[in-house]
Amino acid sequence: MNSRKRLIYSLLALLLAGGCKILGERKVVTFNKQWPAAGVHRVEVNEIDGTINVEASSSDQITMEAVVRTRVPGKQNEENQGFFKTELDGDTLTIGRKSEHRWGVHFGLGGDEYSVTYTLHVPPSVSLELQTINGKIASRGTDGEMSATTVNGVVDIETSGTNEVEAKAVNGIIRAHFLKDFHGASFKTVNGRVVAVLPPSASFSSDFTQVNGDVEAAFPLNIHSHPGSRRVSGEVNGGRYSLHITTVNGDIKVENGGGPAAPAAPAAPVPPPTPST
């Protein structure tokens, strides 16, 4: 055996001894599950690499489609082939996997061993706690309390606004659209802008803090300046609920969901005087 082969075998033995995995060809595996919606008041999704999509539904079932893109084989004797777990405990449905220490050798393939994209349909009123490290979080049509956290990804929320909303990101944009009402929100990101769209009737006290960027608000804020800091606060429509936004590198924009007021109709022209006879 020449020295080159001995070196290769030695490296392979070292990798195997260290618990490392040599990743293969990427495959796609899809899982579909459902649970009775009655009695479920909270849904939690925890992921490492993947997207979380949640849509409100009037169905009596909570449904989930999970699409796994993987370079490692599944474990046929485990739930969801070991890629993630689901558990219904009392009124809480928990889905996903939590961060864990894993060894992996990617030999130029890049990325993690696998990623999971979740699409869930839930009753509008359930509370949501959604977390991922690398991936987007999106919700549509929900009414319940929500907490959304990602490290690298966009948070895109559409809600009726009847409950409080919280969103955090490190590298990513946060967008939130409150369709009907506003009952408080907190948005924090390091690198990315924050855009919040509120209904015209929203009553809120604002507290905006940023380092590099601009603040733009479509509401008539009663501004309280803070000399020596990049902080702006004020009240709109009585300031009933809190709107707290913090970003380091990015703009803050608060839009009026009612849109600009329609221009007044032009006055009717005055008819010319009737000539005398």
Same domain? For 147 and 93 the reply is no
- The CA distance from 140 to 57, in Å, is 10
Same domain? For 86 and 158 the reply is no
| Residue 157: predicted pLDDT | 98
89 part of a folded domain: yes
Last residue of a domain, one of 96, 122, 148: 122
Which domain range does residue 191 map to?
136-258
CB atoms within 10 A of CB 113: 17
| Residue 272: predicted pLDDT | 61
| Residue 148: predicted pLDDT | 98
| Residue 264: predicted pLDDT | 37
| Residue 26: predicted pLDDT | 83
| Residue 269: predicted pLDDT | 55
**Count of domains forming the chain:** 2
141 part of a folded domain: yes
| Residue 208: predicted pLDDT | 92
CB atoms within 10 A of CB 240: 14
Decide if 256 contacts 196 (C-beta within 8 A). no
Report residue 59: phi and psi, to 5°.
Answer: -70, 160
173 part of a folded domain: yes
Give the chain's largest Cα–Cα span: 125
Same domain? For 156 and 207 the reply is yes
Decide if 182 contacts 202 (C-beta within 8 A). yes
Same domain? For 195 and 253 the reply is yes
Same domain? For 64 and 160 the reply is no
Same domain? For 69 and 143 the reply is no
Q: Please give the chain's pLDDT, 277 residues, in tens.
A: 566 555 445 544 544 444 445 556 889 999 999 999 999 999 999 999 999 999 999 999 999 999 999 999 999 999 999 999 999 999 999 999 975 433 333 333 344 589 999 999 999 999 999 999 999 999 999 999 999 999 999 999 999 999 999 999 999 999 999 999 999 999 999 999 999 999 999 999 999 998 888 889 898 876 665 565 678 888 999 999 999 999 999 999 999 998 544 343 444 455 566 665 5
Same domain? For 239 and 211 the reply is yes
215 part of a folded domain: yes
**β-bridge mates for residue 246, sequence order:** 188, 209
| Residue 101: predicted pLDDT | 39
Q: Which long-range contacts (CB under 8 A, 24 or more apart) does 155-163 make?
A: 160/124, 161/198, 161/199, 161/202, 163/127
Decide if 146 contacts 186 (C-beta within 8 A). no
Classify residue 212 by burial, with Cβ atoms within 10 Å: 0-12, 13-18, 19+: exposed
Angle among Cα 15, 49, 125 to the nearest 5 degrees reads 150
Last residue of a domain, one of 71, 89, 122: 122
Please give the model's pTM, rounded to 2 decimal places.
Answer: 0.80
Same domain? For 105 and 141 the reply is no
Last residue of a domain, one of 93, 122, 151: 122
Decide if 277 contacts 244 (C-beta within 8 A). no
- The CA distance from 98 to 84, in Å, is 9
98 part of a folded domain: yes
| Residue 5: predicted pLDDT | 54
Please provide the size of the chain in residues: 277
Alpha helices (H) in the chain, listed in sequence order? 3-17
Q: Which residue has the tokens 């939590």?
A: 98
130 part of a folded domain: no
Same domain? For 49 and 162 the reply is no
